[in-house]
Structure 1
Amino acid sequence: MSATTEQTAEPTGRLSTVRVLATNPVTVVSAVVLAAVVVVALLAPWVAPYGVNAVDVANALQPPSAAHWFGTDDLGRDLFSRVVVAARVSLQVAVVSVAFAFVVGVAVGVVSGYVGGVVDTVLMRVVDVMFAFPVLLLALAIVAILQPGMATTMLAIGIVYTPIFARVARASTLSVRNEPYVQVARTMGVSGRSILGRHVLPNITGPLIVQTSLSLAFAILSEAALSFLGLGIQPPAPSWGGMLFAAQGFLSQAWWMSVFPGAAIFVTVLAFNLLGDGLRDVLDPKQRTLIESRRRR
């Protein structure tokens, strides 16, 4: 009966992780905000009351009102509709670019950390060369070589964030490679591919999940920066960075043109960062032990 009570009070596995996350109100609010942004982005064509490129010069630079919740821009386009559709564009760019960086970076990092030797040295020197360039500067160079657009933006952001995932995956693999169960699998003649798939990858997912959340935030910032410079999403497609670029000539005349796209970037990036902090606390064994002990008390 005592064992049953203890098992009920401290559930294991996935449910326990969810409950620990739920004890942090900041993480819960961040998850709710991100869920709302994702839902709005997915339903953007139905949520937007006007066409994103519906020009109405007679109503240009109108302040927020019941007809136009976020006001209108210099061409009379509804800002609320453009901000909503731009959320879909920004999330699409962020998810695709981070997925590319995740797949390539994790593959490089795991192979480098597990094989070691010359392979590790060569791969890490390539990663170090990429790290030598600032993220935005390297992305600008890639976009300058290729033609600006959504596909180029995804590729550029994916490339510049690949070394980060490679470093995280390599460091985690090095800590797992010498564990007893990995050594036993090697002694039994298990192939390297099986060891990586069954023992290494499942045990390095925690840091990678946290890095993914943080990278999504920085990918949104990078896309906004490239679009602001005219090298990202090209007009007339809406993007938060492009909307900020269009608003810079009307800062004193139409404050709403810059406030609402900027607020969308701020809220989304902050929510991703706070969610990443919450996941880090839960997936870190030491931090999770402290959180669970406080919860029991």
Structure 2
Amino acid sequence: MSVTEPSATPASAVPPASGRVKSWRLLAANPLTVAAAVALAVVVLAAVLAPWIAPYGVNQIDVANALTPPSPSHWFGTDELGRDVLSRVLLAGSTSLTIAVTAVAIALVLGLVLGVVAGYRGGWVDAALMRVVDVMFAFPVLLLALAIIAIFQPGMVTTIIAIGVVYTPIFARVARASTLSLRTSAFVQVSRTMGTPAPVILVRHVLPNIGGPIVVQTSLSLAFAILSEAALSFLGLGIQPPAPSWGGMLFTAQGFLAQAWWMSVFPGAAIFVTALAFNLLGDGLRDGLDPRQRTLIEARQGERRRRKSLVDPAPTTQENPR
């Protein structure tokens, strides 16, 4: 009596993975994206817990231990007033992330409104709104932020407003381009024919379908917002002393580069790691969320697997003769 082995399920019977599953697989398979996410998680956790894990007060002065190099009692050393650099880096991270997240949130909301309305309505509305955006794009980011801060008093609120305003045109451009491609789609045309109000169409159909590019741009803008805040604080137009900020710490450290390298290295490293992690995460999100990028990556992976199978064919199993 012969035993019939169950036949394997044909490949065509296996349901293909959905776009969301493919996106998560690509993100998890990208080591740079995973490393960036882990680094950002550490930075955010340290910033949130900074008031409790900082070993010293942010402005706790100890002149007797001024300019002390890194040691077990002061892991990142001390500055010219004997303040613990580690404590200031941690608390400055909380300030920098708060400014970056709030400013990008403002830019996201304003940019989405301008871009979606301009792309959906078209005509003179699109032309008028985009001319405003073009005027804002004509100025360098830092120069426009300096102009806004010059009108008001330097400080945390002014820095948030300045960064939020200068990054609004970027989100407006991205939202407009995505909305233009959706305006003529079948589901939008059907909703218009059925008499669905424009706000309902935008919220129900347009916004969910432009989420991918917006998420990617948000991650990239957070990186540039961190750099912008540091630059403004370095120039003395952002966070004002004695409140700690990474840019302000770099400004103070420039007078002690020869005798206290740690004053500049640690806040500079915090800026570098945070901005780089946001950039790498943005690149990974772009590859995972953009269908075209996802298709290209899958095609390259399939080509590599095909070449590997040709170079190293699977060993054949020989039956033992009876």
Into which bin does the TM-score normalised by the smaller protein fall?
over 0.9
Whether 1:248 aligns to 2:254 is: yes
**1:141 alignment counterpart:** 147
Identity of aligned residues (%): 73
AA partner of residue 194 (structure 2): M
Corresponding residue number in structure 1 for 2:183: 177
1:292 is paired with a residue whose SS is: helix
What is the Cα deviation at residue 3 of structure 1? 7.6
Query: What residue is the counterpart of 1:110 in the other structure?
Result: 116
TM-score (normalised: structure 2): 0.89
For the aligned residue pairs, the C-alpha RMSD in angstroms reads 1.4
Partner of 2:311: none
The answer (yes or no) to whether the contact 2:119–2:177 under 8 Å persists in 1 is yes
Q: Does 1:6 align with 2:14?
A: yes
Query: Match for 1:233 among 236, 239, 245?
Result: 239
- CA deviation vs aligned residue, 1:54-86 (integer Å, no higher than 9, x gap): 000000000111111110000000000100111
Q: Which range moved further: 249-258 or 16-25?
A: 16-25
Aligned match of 1:158: 164
Question: Which protein is richer in helix relative to its size?
Answer: 1
CA shift digits 1:80-113 (9 cap, x unpaired):
0100111110000000000000000110000001
Q: Does 1:88 align with 2:76?
A: no
Structure 1 residue 2, shift from structure 2 partner? 4.6
Normalising by the residue count of structure 1, what TM-score does the alignment of the two structures yield? 0.96
Q: Secondary structure at the match of 2:258?
A: coil
2:267 pairs with one of 261, 271, 276: 261
Among 193, 211, 223, the residue aligned to 1:217: 223
The counterpart of 1:43, out of the listed 28, 42, 49, is: 49
Give, as a single letter, the amino acid of the residue that structure 1 aligns with 2:14. Answer: E
Hey, what's the Cα distance between the residues in 2 that align with 1:281 and 1:16?
Answer: 11
Would you identify which runs of 4 or more consecutive aligned residues in structure 1 move more than 4 Å?
1-5, 293-296
Structure 2 CA distance, aligned partners of 1:43 and 1:87?
11
**Contact residue 24 and residue 288 of structure 2 kept, 8 A:** no
Which of 16-25 and 229-238 deviates more? 16-25
Q: Decide which moves more: 206-215 or 188-197.
A: 188-197
Distance in 1 (CA, whole Å) between partners of 2:212 and 2:281 is 13
- Structure number with bigger Rg: 2
Aligned residue identity for 1:53: N
Instruction: For structure 2, list consecutive stretches of 5 or more residues without a partner in the other structure.
Output: 1-8, 306-322
Displacement after TM superposition at 1:242 (Å): 0.3
Residue by residue over 1:229-268, the C-alpha shift from the partner in whole angstroms, topping out at 9 and shown as x without a partner, is 1110011111000000000110111111011100100010
Count residues in correspondence: 295
Q: 2:135 aligns with which of 126, 129, 137?
A: 129
Measure how far apart 1:290 and its partner are: 2.9
Q: Indicate yes or no: 2:24 matched with 1:18.
A: yes
Shift of 1:184: 1.4
Q: Secondary structure of 2:241's match?
A: coil
